[in-house]
Every structure is written in structure tokens, then in C-alpha cells.
Chains A and B, each alone.
Chain A
């Protein structure tokens, strides 16, 4: 009975993480379309929400990676998964509060690994999976998106550079409707699947699914798709209010190239089961499209922040995940610990949210 209560808490925590993921990442998905006036903010956000929902149904390769290639499903418990989620959500909230560009995906993997290490030890962590399926692709993907961004904008300028600016800009704005749509679809595909993977892992740990032969249940896919879609929609309204202040400036050809680069890398990686940081891939595409026009046009300080986030997120989320497990286990293996931590986490989250709103919301950067 207690384990079922913990499972329900884990499912809600995972969906809450999924919601914050959509909320957090809306800016990345819609910023380029809005800043070039390819789409109005309302249409961009509504389209992103719908396509994030649809994207979650395209593939389950990433979900399978999260469920079976990061931690030993048979060695961990639902309490460990809960602690990992607390690590990820807490780190997301902290970085949101301080306006740091962070990756929800790295926070999730870091939290899970930290909690598993604290609970079981190194034997619970699949080193090969973490390195081969998470860390190396995480480092390479933004670089590949950057290179594609440079090449794509070079092709676009080479082909349409002699056209009068008006017709070319209109054409690329039209193209951005397609590339922005693909980017939203790609985001839904890769990011919603991480939550599906965590819930599936919890179902395996709780004995509801077999560790060796499992399928992601349909209700998990629908719930994850709905949560990320609602988060995207909610986050989008926050962005609409803050648009036009510090958002990136680029022409429509750059917007098209950046979105195309990001969408291609995320979709191809999802197909091969790599859980990427979509934020960093999109940022790589944007910087590539900027650097392809003029190297000094890129805000290299943002690139530096991304590198810092790369280095910090995994260990920080892991440390919080481990601490959350340590605190939870004080109350034994039952539901008391997770319930208490949930209440504390909700209280902390609300306090940070209220304080941030009073101090003025940070504008997300791409």
C-alpha cells in the first residue's frame, strides 16, 4: 500500500517536472518565430503547445533510454526515483530564480544518478549508458547544431542574397512557420519522453512492469504529452507579456536556419534514443545562424553561461537528489518521507515563485 502511494507521488512529481519543462522551454521554441514577426505571439504559443502534444506520440526511443540505460531499474525503488525528481525540480527552480540557463534534461539525469548513488551505490548507475547515451551526445549535439546553423545560413544567403529584402524576408517568414512547427514537434518528442521514461522506470521499480520486456503504457504517453503541452501554453503567456524587451534580434533567414538546425538535430537524436538538452541544441542553432552572418553578432557571453550550466547542472542536481534521498530515508521506506518532502518542495517552490514575481520575472534567453 505504501509503495503504491509513493508511486502516485512519483507520477505527480514527474508530471510536475514535465509541466515545468514545457513552461521553462517555451521561449526557446517560439522566440525566433516571434522576434522575426513570422508568427504573432498568441499563434506561436498555441501552435507550440499543440505540436508539443503531438510530438510526444512520435517516438518512445528516448523514454526507453531513460528507463533502462541510466540506472538499474531492478536495483532502485520508487523512493529513489522520487528523490531524483526532487533534485531535478529543485535545480530547475533554483536556476529559474537566478535566471541561469540550465538544462531540465541534465537536471533530471543528474538527480536520478545522485539519488541512486546515495541509495544503492555505484552498482545502481549504468556508467556506460550515462556516458554513451547522455554525456557524450549532450556535449556533441549543440556543437553539431551550431555547425548546421552556420552552413544553413550560408546556403540561405548564397541562394537568396541577391533578392530584394522584402520578398526574401516574406519567404523565410513563411518558411519559419514550418521550421518553428518542426522545432515544437521535436521539443515535444525529446522532452516529453524523458518524463515517460521516469514514470516507466517507477512502474518497473514498483513491479507493475517487467524490467526486461516492457512497453511504455498509453496513459503515460498521454499524461506526459498533456503536461508538457499545458506547461508550454502557460509559459507562453508569461513570455507574451515580456516580449520585446531582451529577446534576440535576427532576420527571418537566420530564424529559419536556426530553427531548422535545432529541429533536425533534436528529431534525429530522438530517433536514436538520445535524451538531449533541447535548450542547448536550440541555442547552438541560434548561435550558428548568427555566427554564419557575422561572428561578432553572437552573444558569446550566453555561450559561456551555457558551458557553465553544462558543468554545474549534473553534479548540482545529483547532490540535491542524493540529499533528498538521505532526508526521505530518515522516515523509513514508507510514504511519510516522500509526502513530507513533497509538502516542503511545494512550499519552497511557491515561496520562490512569489519572491521572483515580486522582484520581476527574468526574461528567458535563447
Chain B
């Protein structure tokens, strides 16, 4: 009988679980922020609230950059890992 505790590399499993959790949640939060920023930017610009529009544009830009960077880092790690 193989003892599950000894043959399973729990550390690697935990690493895989944490990596997938962090990657998915960071990308979701960043993408949601980008969507919120873009939608708010369009609305604020239409209402001529330029200060809010500028802040929303920054949010949208930062969110989009974080999404792109996360995907790029993930692929880099996969290819070079």
C-alpha cells in the first residue's frame, strides 16, 4: 500500500495551485479594473467631467498593461521553465 502522504509532492501541488490562483485573480482584477476605467471614461467624457475621465483613462490603461504583462510573464515562465 503506497502512503499518499509520502509519494505525493504536496509542495509542487501547492505551488501549482497558488500560481494558478494568483495568476487568475490578478488578471481578473486587472481586466475588471480596465473595463471599469474604460466604461467610466466614456461616460465622464460624455458628461464633460474631464477630471474623472482622465483618472478613469489611467485606470483603464494600468489595468490593460497589468493584464498584458501578466500574460507575457506567464508565457515566459512556461517557455523558459
Which residues of A line the B interface, CB within 8 A? 58-59, 61, 127-128, 131-132, 136-137, 140, 144-145, 147-148, 151-152, 155-156, 158-160, 163-164, 167-168, 171-172, 175, 178-179, 182, 189, 256-257, 260-261, 263-265, 267-272, 274
Contact = CB atoms under 8 A, between A and B. Distances in A.
Contacts of A156: 28, 31-32
Contacts of B75: 58
B75 to A, nearest CB: 7
Nearest to A176: B31
A128 B33 CA distance: 44
Nearest to B27: A260
B36 A136 contact: no
Given A131-B4, A178-B67, A159 B25 contact: no
Contacts of B13: 136-137, 140, 272
B16 A272 contact: yes
A167 B77 CA distance: 33
A152 B16 contact: no
Contacts of A172: 31, 35
B36 A160 contact: yes
Given A136-B4, A268-B19, A59 B36 contact: no
Contacts of B35: 159-160, 163, 167-168, 171-172, 175
B39 A160 contact: yes
User: How many B residues touch the partner, as a band?
Assistant: 35 or more
Given A127-B7, A131-B4, A131-B7, A268 B20 contact: yes
A256 B25 CA distance: 12
B76 to A, nearest CB: 10
Interface in B56-81: 67, 71, 74-75, 77-79, 81
A148 B24 contact: yes
Contacts of A263: 24
A137 B9 CA distance: 10
Interface string B1-27: 010100111001101110111011101
A128 B39 contact: no
A261 B81 contact: no
B38 interface: yes
Given A156-B28, A159-B32, A167-B39, A271 B78 contact: yes
A164 B39 contact: yes
B42 interface: yes
Given A171-B35, A175-B31, A270 B12 contact: no
Nearest to B29: A155
B34 A148 contact: no
Main secondary structure of the interface of A (DSSP, over half): helix
Interface of B: 2, 4, 7-9, 12-13, 15-17, 19-21, 23-25, 27-29, 31-36, 38-40, 42-43, 67, 71, 74-75, 77-79, 81
B28 A256 contact: yes
A136 B23 contact: no
A110 B9 CA distance: 21
B32 A155 contact: yes
Contacts of A274: 16
A274 B29 CA distance: 27
User: Nearest 3 CB-CB pairs, A to B?
Assistant: A171-B35, A159-B32, A167-B39
Given A137-B16, A167-B43, 12 more contacts: A61-B81, A128-B2, A132-B9, A144-B21, A148-B20, A151-B25, A160-B32, A256-B28, A260-B28, A261-B24, A265-B24, A268-B23
A58 to B, nearest CB: 5
B27 to A, nearest CB: 6
28 contacts: A58-B78, A131-B4, A132-B8, A137-B13, A140-B13, A148-B21, A148-B24, A151-B24, A156-B31, A156-B32, A159-B35, A163-B36, A171-B38, A175-B67, A182-B71, A261-B20, A263-B24, A264-B27, A267-B20, A267-B23, A267-B74, A268-B17, A268-B23, A269-B16, A270-B78, A271-B77, A271-B78, A272-B13
Contacts of B23: 264, 267-268
Contacts of A261: 20, 24
Given A140-B17, A164-B39, A152 B8 contact: no
